A and B are shown apart, each in its own frame.
Chain A
Amino acid sequence: MASDLPSSTVITLFDPLGVILAGRESVRAAEKVDASSKNSPKEELRGFLWFTVGGESYAVEIHRVKEVLRPRRVTTVPRSPEVIRGIISHRGAILAILDLAGRLGVESVSTSALQRIIAVRMGEGCCGLLVNRVGRVVMRPRSAVEPPPRDLPPGQYPFVSGTIRYKGAQLLLLDLDKILDIGGSST
């Protein structure tokens, strides 16, 4: 499904916030037409950042996303949980890089120029999620979030809180708190 991303929405600029905001704007404009026919026009729209991991499309709520970064050299940390790739320094702080494919139990697609790190808020700090590529921001009202599909691989059940549809694609909405709760579920 990775190929479902229209090429025009693939992010090639480094200014991630700008891209996210621009995406948000254009989507909002598009949704206005779209939404007015289907949903109550009054309902507040929420943003979801669409990205792919191991060929599958996922989304996280945009308010948890702080930045999107290009991959850089990761320093591995011995004795740390396997799903943690290592650390990078970013804006004066240490950012742990989580191998999202490993966490979700899907096969990671080999590194490409499209790989990105999504920095998400975690408690007082941040954590980076390594993803195959970042798509766009999708605006949807809360009521558009549907329950998770029944045919999910068992390993993903704890992490998927719902789905949203976008142009025929199904985005699996991730529960970040459960994703980031590494201590409890790794050995």
Chain B
Amino acid sequence: MPRSDHDDSRGMRESLGEVEEILENLGRDLAILVAVAGSGPIPPDLINAIFRDAHSLKGVAGMLGYTAVSTLAHSLESLLELLRLGKAPLDAKMVEVLEGGVDHLSLLVRSSSQRAAPPDSTLILEQIAACCARTVPPPSIPPPKPLLPERIARSLTEFEEHRTAENLRQGKRLFLLHASLLLESFDREIESLIDLLRSQGEVLSTIPSPGYDREDGIDFDILVGAEHPPGLLSPCVTCEEIPVQRVAVLPPSEEEGGGSISTFSTPPHERRSAERSGSGMVRVDIRALDDLIALVGELVAAQRSLRYEVEQIGAGGVTNPVPLVKRAERMGQKLKELQQEIMEIRLVPVRTLYDKLIRVVRRISVDEGRNLQLELQGGETRLDKQIIEDISDPLMHLVRNAVDHGIEAPAERRAAGKPETGRITITASQKGNRVVIEVADDGRGIDLVKVRRQAMARGLLRTLHGVTDREALELIFEPGFSTSDEVSGISGRGVGMDVVKSAITSLSGTISVDTEPGGGSRIGIALPITLAIVRTLIIEAGGESYGVPVSAIQETLAVSPEELLHLEGNEFLQLRELTLPLVRLHRFFGRNSPATGDSFGYAVVAVVGARRVAILADGIRGQHDLVLKPLGELFSGVRGIAGAVELSDEETVLVLDPLAIMDELHRGGDGHGF
């Protein structure tokens, strides 16, 4: 459907996209900060980045009129300012408040994008204020000012002064560099110079001054804190033809063996072709667009040669169809490539989900006082943006479940001979055209005896006899099932595995569980890489064509009337040891029975989770990769149909929704939409 061209809503969406992007950066940087906290000095660049994120968020949100977001961002900014200046320590309390603040920001932004009333921020604002009030006096170290030339000392900002003092405190020395650059090229040169210096120490301040030597020049004083003189600082050494003079080395007092140079390596920064934002917008790498444009160029050329061949035929004379077929095939090939490339743009790395999970697990460990270790693998695996968004909550719930029901208390773990720290491992990997995400814990595993007893108590089982372990395990996905005797603060209240399962199923995914008593559990989710393009089997039934998503097909087989069972007016297909409900589509949909309605041919066995249904087909027309399109609001009441695909210019085919069909059969088949 064409998008609304309304400028306001579009501009709003873009701005919201920007807010979400900043928030995403903020979350990621904070996760890194938390990860490095407690292991040596905090990288100042990182705190600065977080401070800047909060600052820009305040600005953008203020501009958009998201007062609640801007107020909270402002308050976080004040706290970060204290942290940045070393006036507040980076301790557990600080981490908790910062994470709480960022989480609350996400909630606020989400409510804005859904035009819902913003959640109340009073509590978090109070916590931030309380944290700000804990200001510690800066450690008593000699102020660096007397060491520095007055011209420099006067120009330092409070933050730069703090960092300078901090470097001295760590036993580092200060180096003052002077660089003379040309006005026309200084911006690039100063950048590369600073990059170079950063690899050897901390660039504390860069102070410009008018060029002393030439009219078209500009000079910079650069203050660097480092343990050893950077290689660059030998007298008269030039770096890429930038003249740098060593002006002064300012040794701190006599003490030796101070702290090491504070280095911080940023996480592998790979180019992403697209990044997620909940506003329905995708940022696209310009190179991906270039590829698309190149492909479209090829298509135009292919079309031109196709047209040429057609004209030749039109002019008579040419009767050989081979060149025409070849051109058409080439064009088809290019179109397929185009489809592939565009699909690629929708894919984003699973990593975008991981930052959130890190925060959740940290929060749980702090709140519950539990030792947890979260291991994340395969963050580079890519999935459709829409699926990433929809999988976020279920995944969060699985992690909470693992902590709540899986990981034992430290004493219990010790008694079982396990390390006290419980481990949760999340792995994402691509398997063919599916992405598998596994959530594994090394906890106590699922107690199948307890599961059976619980299922009896909830009326999900009539007897304990003859229920295999595998069947018992499947029971945890039943609605209303919960094995926790008491609901704790961190488990999703009232939300069970059945909700997780239905969320996964609605994404054409499957969920499975494995457990080992005492050894832990492993939940596996298999998802299609994208929902945009669906491999579809086209079948004919009752004189109409239908599409069936191949992802939902277990097998297709030839059947004859003798293989059907008739029970209480319903038909079933006996397939090996399974008895499957059989669907004749024209009857199911209440369509007029065509003359050929009851002929036989094939049964398409669709499977969703543990449920199966056999769909009777007169003929099979083949598989195609097609774009599944929704039917639109006029058909909102139509059950059993997932959408439609365009098979050719003249043919649009309805695609079945096997799950809805199974649901309706399950309910007794009285489900006419209107």
Residues of A within 8 A of B (CB): 72-73, 75-81, 84, 87-89, 92-94, 96, 123-127, 180, 182-183, 186-187
Whether B1 contacts A125 by the Cβ 8 Å rule is yes
Whether B644 contacts A81 by the Cβ 8 Å rule is no
Whether A79 contacts B639 by the Cβ 8 Å rule is yes
Given the complex of chains A and B, what is the CA–CA distance between A14 and B507 in angstroms? 41
Whether A79 contacts B640 by the Cβ 8 Å rule is yes
Question: What sequence of 0s and 1s flags, for each residue 618-658 of chain B, a beta carbon within 8 Å of any chain A beta carbon?
Answer: 00000000010111111111111101101001111110000
Q: What does DSSP make chain B's interface, helix, strand, loop or mixed?
A: loop
Whether B2 contacts A96 by the Cβ 8 Å rule is no
Whether A125 contacts B638 by the Cβ 8 Å rule is no
Quick one: which of B634, B640, B641 has the most chain A CB within 10 A?
A: B634
Given contacts A87-B652, A94-B652, contact A125 B632 (CB under 8 A): yes
Given contacts A79-B672, A79-B674, A126-B1, contact A73 B638 (CB under 8 A): no
- Please list 15 pairs of residues, one from A and one from B, whose beta carbons are closer than 8 Å in the complex, sorted by A's number: A72-B649, A72-B650, A73-B652, A77-B631, A77-B638, A80-B635, A81-B674, A92-B646, A94-B630, A124-B2, A125-B2, A125-B632, A125-B633, A180-B634, A186-B674
Given the complex of chains A and B, what is the CA–CA distance between A1 and B639 in angstroms? 41
Given the complex of chains A and B, what is the CA–CA distance between A73 and B631 in angstroms? 16
Whether A183 contacts B646 by the Cβ 8 Å rule is no
Given A80-B635, A89-B646, A89-B652, 13 extra CB contacts under 8 A: A72-B650, A77-B641, A77-B654, A78-B590, A87-B631, A92-B629, A93-B2, A93-B629, A94-B630, A96-B635, A124-B2, A183-B636, A186-B674
Check if B3 is an interface residue, CB within 8 A of chain A: yes
Check if B576 is an interface residue, CB within 8 A of chain A: no
> What's the least CB distance linking B10 to chain A, in Å?
12
Given the complex of chains A and B, what is the CA–CA distance between A89 and B429 in angstroms? 36
User: Which residues of the partner chain A approach B673 to less than 8 Å between Cβ atoms?
Assistant: 79-80
User: Which residues of the partner chain A approach B629 to less than 8 Å between Cβ atoms?
Assistant: 89, 92-94
User: Which residues of the partner chain A approach B639 to less than 8 Å between Cβ atoms?
Assistant: 79
Given the complex of chains A and B, what is the CA–CA distance between A183 and B651 in angstroms? 26
Given contacts A75-B654, A78-B591, A79-B639, contact A87 B674 (CB under 8 A): no
Given contacts A93-B1, A94-B644, contact A80 B634 (CB under 8 A): yes
Check if B4 is an interface residue, CB within 8 A of chain A: yes
Given the complex of chains A and B, what is the CA–CA distance between A79 and B627 in angstroms? 23
Check if B589 is an interface residue, CB within 8 A of chain A: yes
Q: Whose C-beta in chain A lies nearest to the C-beta of B585?
A: A78
User: Which residues of the partner chain B approach A126 to less than 8 Å between Cβ atoms?
Assistant: 1-2
> What's the least CB distance linking A106 to chain B, in Å?
21
Given contacts A79-B640, A79-B673, A87-B644, contact A96 B654 (CB under 8 A): no
Given the complex of chains A and B, what is the CA–CA distance between A88 and B632 in angstroms? 12
Whether A78 contacts B589 by the Cβ 8 Å rule is yes
Quick one: which of B630, B673, B674 has the most chain A CB within 10 A?
A: B674
Given the complex of chains A and B, what is the CA–CA distance between A93 and B631 in angstroms? 9
User: Which residues of the partner chain A approach B4 to less than 8 Å between Cβ atoms?
Assistant: 124
User: Which residues of the partner chain A approach B652 to less than 8 Å between Cβ atoms?
Assistant: 73, 75, 87-89, 94
Given the complex of chains A and B, what is the CA–CA distance between A103 and B274 in angstroms? 46
Given the complex of chains A and B, what is the CA–CA distance between A123 and B636 in angstroms? 15
The 9 closest A-B pairs by CB, nearest first: A78-B589, A89-B646, A125-B1, A79-B673, A89-B652, A75-B652, A96-B634, A79-B638, A94-B629
